[in-house]
Amino acid sequence: MENAQLKILRPFGPPIARIKIPEKILDELNNYVDKIIIDKEKSKNLNWGNKLIGDVTQEIKIEQDIAKKIGWLDFLAKCSAKYVETITNQQVKQFVLLESWIVRQFENEYNPLHSHSGHISGVGYLKVPENFGETVQKNKNENFNGHLQLVHGTKMFLSPVMLNIKPKVGDFYFFPNYLMHAVYPFKNKSSERRSISFNALIDDEIYGSIGKS
């Protein structure tokens, strides 16, 4: 993570941070998922689908000890702290990972508009299809198949409401828990869109102070 650059995006009100997941952690996470897929008992025990809103093939809760062992917990804690400190100039002293989970999404599956719990959330990508398929109308200027869409506020002059993100392996985005977001379905029968998310708490004093004069 020492060489990674965290970039702050400000498409609308709440700033968003983007950073790359280290290759070693990326590989460890994919290996972890691949092992769970073939272990029916573990797949059942770690099923997180009933806690989440998505209409997808599988949602896997990451075990806390695994998150710590492979460096995922440390990555989230350090990046969250850097994200908050860059925006607020306040030092984060507490990071509590509430949960982290992996979403396995296939053709025509989707995640409707929703928000998260905690203070800080995020999503990144472990595996994506080579292509997300064509639009029904071939003359469309934009194709949102498989995209993440972040939504905030009301459209006004110089203030867009939405930010559409095309997933790329290794990209990870941090945002405030309340930020509404959705994932569009895609059209590719042979490919998996594999994402990873988290919810966490930071210092109540920092979270509660933002926006106060």
- pLDDT for 96 equals 98
Q: Which residues, given as ranges, of the chain have pLDDT below 70? A: 1-3, 11-12, 210-213
Task: Tell me the pTM.
Answer: 0.91
The strand pairing partners of 94, in sequence order, are none
Does residue 2 lie in a domain region? no
- pLDDT for 4 equals 73
How far apart CA 63 and CA 101 sit, in angstroms, is: 9
Is 129:157 a contact under the CB 8 Å cutoff?
no
SS3 for 41-94 is HHHHHCECHHHCCCECCEEEECCHHHHHHCCHHHHHHHHHHHHHHHHHCCCCCC
Q: How many domains does the chain have?
A: 1
Neighbours of 79 (CB within 10 A): 21
Domain housing 124:
10-209
pLDDT tens across 91-118, in order?
A: 999 999 999 999 999 999 999 999 999 9
- pLDDT for 140 equals 84
Does residue 189 lie in a domain region? yes
Nearest CA-CA partner of 172 in 196, 192, 149, 194 = 196
- pLDDT for 153 equals 87
Does residue 3 lie in a domain region? no
- pLDDT for 212 equals 45
Does residue 1 lie in a domain region? no
Does residue 183 lie in a domain region? yes
Residue carrying structure tokens 């984060």: 92
Nearest CA-CA partner of 98 in 205, 197, 14 = 197
Does residue 46 lie in a domain region? yes
Residues shown for the chain:
213
Neighbours of 50 (CB within 10 A): 6
Does residue 185 lie in a domain region? yes
Burial class (CB within 10 angstroms; exposed 0-12, middle 13-18, buried 19+) of 194: buried
Does residue 70 lie in a domain region? yes
Neighbours of 31 (CB within 10 A): 11
